[in-house]
Chains A and B, each alone.
Chain A
């Protein structure tokens, strides 16, 4: 497999503050990488270093075979970058915006313009001004502008912040369509459920990459054991009882029921018995699907 991104101990310090702290990872062609972390965890700074907009303080990175420090121009020709605040000309039309970016990247073929408009379902909106579009549609225009020059690698910085689930779904279908053609996507997000769209997920906190793996592997590697939903009343005493059950690592409230992850030796029957012994005779315990949020909480507990 071709490695398209190779980062080794990539570090960026701004004065005393370490924004990105010895981050190392590899990305293969055709992957969809989710780079997940809260605001200020170093996601955007990582991208900026990878596309050569920001010099690393330490460490090195290679993107599409080019060094990010020495050969950033080569990299920028071959990648597409969609930033959080899309760089679109709001008073220009959809077509004018895409045509502008085609010019910037030296795309000569006029057919490509039509192709991109079609691919993103923007044909009928070609002559609309960008500032008259909804956020969801504007996001598509920004994606169109980012792919007009056939990039092999796409960096998408929080591409779906603030759009509704149907528009987000449509956006992801477009990303998958590009990936089917061999494009690699590197996507930052602070939505944990969005990271589920990715083939591998990197978890960032305070500049450090805590883990990077497929969602099922993250579950098995970082979750100490199974996750359960517990239905018992009254909730607050039940939460205390559940926290005290043998093997429970972390118990939490989910509005009208409880959730807990446990050590591997616990099963639903055992947990139910422990809850009943604690006086919650009607307690129900069901195994639940682990989420990335559980993984996050487990990483914190470890």
Chain B
């Protein structure tokens, strides 16, 4: 599959502050690339660089083979962009809004209507075609936003935090639409999100922090090093369980959750070593009700990665 979005060594500075640093990524048709990171990591700036709203300080962007800096019109015609705060005409109906976006995108008068019907059907808004946009719920607005971004059948969709703050059911529906677009129309989707649990829905993931892409891979590739190394520990009292676990030589990290602890153990830890931990807890007066392997979460992946990096940099300084 050819790469539809190619960013090479992208930099963006504002007043000497590097918002994006040396970012390189590729997204092919049919892929959903999730850019995950906290506020201020550079996700939105990256989006704006990719859709041509910002000029990069250095580096280049190719969209469907067109160099964004040389052929911006050709490149932009391939892109559907849903910004974080997108504007609809509140006074216009759903259909009138779509018509506007369709015509801006150059759809002819014969084309826009059937296409709008089709896309409204797809996002589940067909029965609301005559409702004023100002009277839509938050979830419906997001779906209309997606319809507007996709009305001209772009090969590339850039979605900037499309599901932040929407309810889980709408979020679920929205993702089903995105996955279907990538599967059926082989669209290349780049989506930013602050939600770790959403990240596992992407086919490829990049974690951003301080303008840099820290790690990248498919969810399975990223989780692979932690497979068989995350355990759930339940019992009482939790603080004692955590403290004992932290003392165990096999345990790399012990994270408290509300009613349980997640342990990250060294690769190749044996059952007998876990039995030793259980004994140590019992000896200290605690009780273990459950200790079992669980699949790693993306959050575990991120935390483990950052810890390892920090340790590496400390050893480096010491050396």
Contact = CB atoms under 8 A, between A and B. Distances in A.
A40 to B, nearest CB: 7
A135 B219 CA distance: 27
B258 A236 contact: no
Residue of A134, A169, A291 ringed by the most chain B CB atoms within 10 A:
A169
B303 A169 contact: yes
A215 interface: yes
Contacts, number: 115
Given A38-B166, A190-B165, A253 B180 contact: yes
Nearest to A33: B258
Residue of B239, B258, B295 ringed by the most chain A CB atoms within 10 A:
B258
Given A191-B195, A254-B200, A297 B169 contact: yes
Contacts of B138: 38-40
Chain A contact patch, size range: 35 or more
Contacts of B303: 165-166, 169
A76 B218 CA distance: 48
Interface string B213-256: 00000110000000000000000000100000000000000011
Interface stretch (B38-46, B53-61, B88-96, B120-128): B38-46
A186 to B, nearest CB: 13
Residue of A34, A37, A192 ringed by the most chain B CB atoms within 10 A:
A192
Chain B contact patch, size range: 35 or more
B83 interface: no
Given A41-B167, A199-B259, A162 B194 contact: yes
A250 to B, nearest CB: 9
Interface of B: 32, 37-41, 138, 165-170, 172, 175-176, 179-180, 183-184, 194-197, 200-203, 209, 218-219, 239, 255-259, 294-295, 297, 299, 302-303, 306-307
21 contacts: A38-B170, A39-B166, A134-B40, A136-B38, A161-B39, A163-B39, A164-B37, A164-B209, A165-B306, A176-B239, A191-B197, A192-B195, A196-B258, A252-B172, A253-B175, A253-B179, A254-B200, A255-B202, A288-B295, A291-B197, A297-B169
